[in-house]
Amino acid sequence: HYSNFDNMLMFLYIGILIVIVQGRLIHGLSKKFGEKKLITAGCSLLVLGLLLTPLSDNSILLYLALGILAFGSGINTPSNQSLLSKLADDDVQGGVLGVGQSLSTMGRILGPAVGGIAFQEWGATSPYIIGACAMVVCVVLSVLLPEVSHLNSQKQENPAN
């Protein structure tokens, strides 16, 4: 199917897209839409990308799915961190961000472990389906997140204003 070089190109493609999203686009997207909407959109894109990946029967469709995954991840990760930062009181902000990062790391450990077991037990498509189902739960939960206005975050940064 895909050679080591092909896999390297896929990872390079994903990495470059995430760098573009997080290094160039996320600031404007955050200002325009806010973290809550970006988290919901990012999780939704991850659902779509995870469902498309195992259905990709050619490289063009696979790269489309990987691009959707990269964009979803690229907007979701910094939006989660930003929302945590804005919601946490100043005296516990570091701890809250640390716990958030720890939970993210735990997901990066448990996800591949569950995916590996699913792959072995139910086949190559199952990790993607399980991941998509988990992300659907995240989409639903993201709707329940509090809305943090950009004005409120500026007031928190400059309490004298």
pLDDT in tens, 103-117: 999 999 999 999 999
Tens of pLDDT, residue by residue over 64-87, are 999 999 999 999 999 999 999 999
Distance of alpha carbon 16 from alpha carbon 66, whole angstroms: 12
Residue range 36-43: mean pLDDT, rounded: 97
